[in-house]
Amino acid sequence: MAILNIIKEGDETLRKISRPVTEITPRILTLLDDMKDTMHHADGCGLAAVQVGVLRRIVIVEVEPGVLYELINPRIVAFAGEQREEEGCLSLPGKQGRTKRPYAVTVRALNRHGEEIEVSGQGLLARAFCHEIDHLDGKLYIDRLV
Protein backbone atom coordinates (compact mmCIF):
# COMPACT_ATOMS: atom_id res chain seq x y z
CA MET A 1 0.00 0.00 0.00
CA ALA A 2 1.01 3.62 -0.39
CA ILE A 3 0.80 6.81 1.60
CA LEU A 4 -0.77 9.39 -0.70
CA ASN A 5 -0.30 13.15 -0.64
CA ILE A 6 -3.21 14.95 1.03
CA ILE A 7 -3.95 18.17 -0.82
CA LYS A 8 -4.39 21.29 1.25
CA GLU A 9 -6.70 24.31 1.37
CA GLY A 10 -6.02 26.57 -1.58
CA ASP A 11 -5.76 23.71 -4.07
CA GLU A 12 -8.71 24.22 -6.43
CA THR A 13 -9.27 20.46 -6.66
CA LEU A 14 -10.92 20.54 -3.21
CA ARG A 15 -13.71 22.72 -4.64
CA LYS A 16 -14.52 20.43 -7.57
CA ILE A 17 -17.43 17.99 -7.72
CA SER A 18 -16.38 14.35 -7.79
CA ARG A 19 -17.67 11.93 -10.44
CA PRO A 20 -19.57 8.74 -9.60
CA VAL A 21 -17.76 5.42 -9.75
CA THR A 22 -19.31 3.40 -12.57
CA GLU A 23 -17.24 0.24 -12.13
CA ILE A 24 -15.27 -1.13 -9.20
CA THR A 25 -11.94 -1.96 -10.75
CA PRO A 26 -8.67 -3.14 -9.21
CA ARG A 27 -7.56 0.50 -9.37
CA ILE A 28 -10.54 1.54 -7.20
CA LEU A 29 -9.72 -1.22 -4.70
CA THR A 30 -6.09 -0.08 -4.55
CA LEU A 31 -7.28 3.50 -4.01
CA LEU A 32 -9.44 2.37 -1.07
CA ASP A 33 -6.47 0.55 0.48
CA ASP A 34 -4.14 3.51 -0.08
CA MET A 35 -6.70 5.94 1.35
CA LYS A 36 -6.93 3.81 4.51
CA ASP A 37 -3.14 3.79 4.92
CA THR A 38 -2.99 7.53 4.25
CA MET A 39 -5.75 8.31 6.75
CA HIS A 40 -4.09 6.18 9.44
CA HIS A 41 -0.68 7.75 8.72
CA ALA A 42 -2.22 11.24 9.09
CA ASP A 43 -4.09 10.22 12.26
CA GLY A 44 -7.46 11.12 10.73
CA CYS A 45 -10.91 9.62 11.09
CA GLY A 46 -12.09 10.15 7.52
CA LEU A 47 -10.80 10.83 4.04
CA ALA A 48 -12.42 11.56 0.68
CA ALA A 49 -10.78 10.57 -2.60
CA VAL A 50 -10.75 14.22 -3.69
CA GLN A 51 -8.41 14.96 -0.77
CA VAL A 52 -5.79 12.78 -2.46
CA GLY A 53 -6.48 14.34 -5.85
CA VAL A 54 -8.88 11.72 -7.21
CA LEU A 55 -12.22 13.19 -8.29
CA ARG A 56 -14.29 10.07 -7.58
CA ARG A 57 -17.19 9.67 -5.16
CA ILE A 58 -15.33 7.57 -2.60
CA VAL A 59 -14.92 8.15 1.14
CA ILE A 60 -13.62 6.19 4.06
CA VAL A 61 -14.52 6.79 7.70
CA GLU A 62 -13.12 5.20 10.87
CA VAL A 63 -14.07 6.94 14.10
CA GLU A 64 -13.80 3.76 16.17
CA PRO A 65 -10.52 1.86 15.72
CA GLY A 66 -11.01 -1.20 13.56
CA VAL A 67 -14.48 -0.21 12.31
CA LEU A 68 -13.79 1.06 8.79
CA TYR A 69 -16.52 2.26 6.44
CA GLU A 70 -15.59 2.23 2.75
CA LEU A 71 -18.31 4.07 0.87
CA ILE A 72 -18.52 4.31 -2.90
CA ASN A 73 -21.05 6.76 -4.37
CA PRO A 74 -22.40 7.58 -0.87
CA ARG A 75 -25.51 9.65 -0.33
CA ILE A 76 -27.34 10.64 2.78
CA VAL A 77 -30.86 9.20 2.66
CA ALA A 78 -32.10 10.18 6.13
CA PHE A 79 -31.06 12.52 8.92
CA ALA A 80 -32.40 13.65 12.27
CA GLY A 81 -31.59 15.99 15.11
CA GLU A 82 -28.81 18.51 15.34
CA GLN A 83 -25.33 18.78 16.77
CA ARG A 84 -22.96 21.72 16.97
CA GLU A 85 -19.41 20.55 17.45
CA GLU A 86 -15.82 21.35 16.53
CA GLU A 87 -14.52 19.93 13.27
CA GLY A 88 -11.14 19.77 11.67
CA CYS A 89 -9.89 18.45 8.36
CA LEU A 90 -6.72 16.80 7.10
CA SER A 91 -6.77 19.28 4.20
CA LEU A 92 -6.87 22.25 6.60
CA PRO A 93 -4.19 21.31 9.14
CA GLY A 94 -4.11 23.24 12.38
CA LYS A 95 -7.59 24.70 11.95
CA GLN A 96 -10.86 23.89 13.67
CA GLY A 97 -14.33 25.36 13.69
CA ARG A 98 -17.79 24.76 15.08
CA THR A 99 -20.34 23.42 12.58
CA LYS A 100 -23.99 22.48 12.62
CA ARG A 101 -24.66 18.93 11.43
CA PRO A 102 -27.43 16.36 11.85
CA TYR A 103 -27.09 14.28 15.02
CA ALA A 104 -27.96 11.07 13.15
CA VAL A 105 -27.67 10.10 9.48
CA THR A 106 -28.26 7.09 7.28
CA VAL A 107 -26.01 6.70 4.24
CA ARG A 108 -26.61 4.48 1.23
CA ALA A 109 -23.55 3.49 -0.82
CA LEU A 110 -21.74 0.65 -2.51
CA ASN A 111 -19.09 -1.34 -0.67
CA ARG A 112 -15.85 -2.55 -2.24
CA HIS A 113 -17.70 -5.62 -3.61
CA GLY A 114 -20.26 -3.49 -5.47
CA GLU A 115 -23.04 -4.38 -3.03
CA GLU A 116 -25.46 -1.68 -1.96
CA ILE A 117 -25.22 -1.06 1.76
CA GLU A 118 -26.94 1.23 4.20
CA VAL A 119 -25.14 2.44 7.32
CA SER A 120 -26.34 4.68 10.11
CA GLY A 121 -24.44 6.71 12.63
CA GLN A 122 -24.93 9.19 15.43
CA GLY A 123 -22.73 11.86 16.94
CA LEU A 124 -19.15 11.81 15.70
CA LEU A 125 -19.85 9.07 13.14
CA ALA A 126 -22.74 11.05 11.62
CA ARG A 127 -20.58 14.18 11.55
CA ALA A 128 -17.76 12.28 9.85
CA PHE A 129 -20.12 10.87 7.20
CA CYS A 130 -21.48 14.36 6.47
CA HIS A 131 -18.02 15.94 6.44
CA GLU A 132 -16.57 13.43 3.98
CA ILE A 133 -19.62 13.40 1.70
CA ASP A 134 -19.48 17.21 1.59
CA HIS A 135 -15.96 16.89 0.14
CA LEU A 136 -17.44 15.04 -2.85
CA ASP A 137 -19.48 18.14 -3.68
CA GLY A 138 -16.57 20.56 -3.30
CA LYS A 139 -17.63 21.72 0.16
CA LEU A 140 -15.40 22.15 3.19
CA TYR A 141 -16.42 22.30 6.83
CA ILE A 142 -15.46 25.99 6.88
CA ASP A 143 -18.45 26.59 4.58
CA ARG A 144 -20.71 25.44 7.44
CA LEU A 145 -19.29 27.33 10.41
CA VAL A 146 -21.80 28.58 12.99
Which sequence positions are flagged as catalytic?
Answer: 132
pTM of this structure? 0.96
Expressed as residue numbers, the domain containing 31 is 12-144
Average pLDDT over residues 98-123: 98
CATH number of the structural domain spanning residue 111 = 3.90.45.10
Q: What is the average pLDDT value for the chain, to the nearest integer?
A: 97
The Cα-based distances of 13 to 7, 17, 43, 55 in angstroms read: 8, 9, 22, 8
d(CA 142, CA 127): 14
Instruction: Give domain status of residue 5, yes or no.
Output: no
Residue 4 located in a structural domain: no
pLDDT of 1 > 80? The answer is no
If we measure between CA atoms, which residue out of 78, 16, 21, 102 comes closest to residue 51?
Answer: 16
26 located within any domain: yes
Considering the domain boundaries, does residue 105 fall inside one?
A: yes
**What is the distance between the alpha carbons of residues 43 and 93, in angstroms, rounded to a whole number?**
12
In a domain, 16, yes or no: yes
Give percent helix, percent strand, percent coil of the chain, each to the nearest 5.
30, 35, 35
Q: E-assigned strands of 36-113?
A: 46-48, 58-64, 67-80, 83-87, 97-101, 104-110
Half-sphere exposure in the Cβ direction for 56 (13 Å, CA): 19
Phi-psi category of residue 114: left, alpha or beta, with phi > 0 → left and psi -120 to 50 → alpha: left
Number of domains in the chain: 1
Q: Is residue 2 part of a domain?
A: no
Is residue 7 situated within a structural domain? no
> pLDDT digit string (tens) for 26-75?
999 999 999 999 999 999 999 999 999 999 999 999 999 999 999 999 99
Query: Residues 101-105: what's their mean pLDDT?
Result: 98
Which DSSP category does 17 fall into?
P
Task: Look at residue 77 and tell me if it is in a domain.
Answer: yes
